Amino acid sequence: MRVLCVSAHPDDIEFSCSGSVAAWTDAGDEVTYCIVTDGSTGTADAELAGSKLAQIRRDETLEAASIVGVTDVRFLDYRDGYVEYTFDLRRDIARVFRDVKPHRLMALDPGPILGDWFVNHPDHRAVGQATLDVTVTAGTTPGHFPELLEEGYEPWRGLRETYVMGPAGGSHGVDITATIDRKIAALQAHRSQINWDVGTVMRRAAQMAGQSHGYAFAETFRVLPTMEARFADD
């Protein structure tokens, strides 16, 4: 199984799905991260913002990825906080999608307000929607962005399912009891972002998520099968 996780910011994957990623890499799945922005504005320190922070966050991302068994990390280097839904964005994600050829795609929830409490970041909304759209347009269809064909990236139609990830979760639970410590360690690798007790908060969140699934700790997602998978014969 090949898995592609597309996020807006360097730490989105750690919050949303890195416990699941660790479980999947343990099972032998290949996981690739695609980080759309450079994370360069994620600070209250105006002196640090910009290329200096972008380099720090790139290093933190690679460290966090390696903790959960991921070495293939693609950076698209869009400016943090300024992502808009454009054809360039959709093409850039489609290029990675066609290159990685995932069976499972992890996409940010593009909704404006998640779970009646979370105001979704505009970068998440744009990246999440573009990621989902790639599965029905530019990732799968040769007539969309024919320049990708010229670059050597054939459309990929082998996707089986898309996991929508974010603070609202979903009805599908993944057991992360064996990997929650690595999820927290991966979060803590984002030292420029996290100076609070992320372990306590994430354990509590994962415990609550696990309750209805019978797991001590879980991450939950909305899972969208592809049309082919939904109606396939067993």
Interacting residues toward Zn ion by CB under 5 A: 8-9, 12
How many other C-beta atoms lie within 10 A of the C-beta of residue 4?
Answer: 29
Contacts of 26-30 with CB under 8 Å at 24 or more apart are 26/69, 26/178, 26/179, 29/1, 29/2, 29/3, 30/1, 30/2, 30/3, 30/72
Smallest separation (angstroms) from Zn ion to the CB of 56:
16
Ranked by CB distance to Zn ion, the top (closest) residue is: 9
In terms of CB distance, is 8 or 93 closer to Zn ion? 8
Tokens of 26: 């343990």
Which is nearer to Zn ion, 201 or 232 (by Cβ)?
201
**Pairing label, strands 161-165, 104-108:** parallel
Q: What is the layout of strands, in order, in the sheet containing 218-225? A: 72-78, 30-37, 2-7, 104-108, 161-165, 218-225, 172-175
Measured from the CB atom, the residue of 8 and 176 that comes closer to Zn ion is: 8
Task: Give the tokens for residue 159.
Answer: 């996707």
List the one residue out of 135, 50, 61 whose CA is nearest residue 98: 135
For Zn ion, the closer CB: 104 or 190: 190
Give min distance, CB of 9 to Zn ion, in A. Answer: 3
* Beta carbon nearer to Zn ion, 81 or 149: 81
Find the shortest distance in angstroms from Cβ 7 to Zn ion.
Answer: 7
CB of 62 to Zn ion, least distance (A): 17
Closest distance of CB 124 from Zn ion, Å: 6
Contact (CB, 8 A) for 219 and 206? yes
Q: How far is the CB of 207 from Zn ion (least distance, A)?
A: 23
Q: How far apart are CA 185 and CA 188, in angstroms?
A: 5
Choose between 12 and 14: whose C-beta lies nearer to Zn ion.
12
Closest CA to 79 of 102, 53, 100: 53
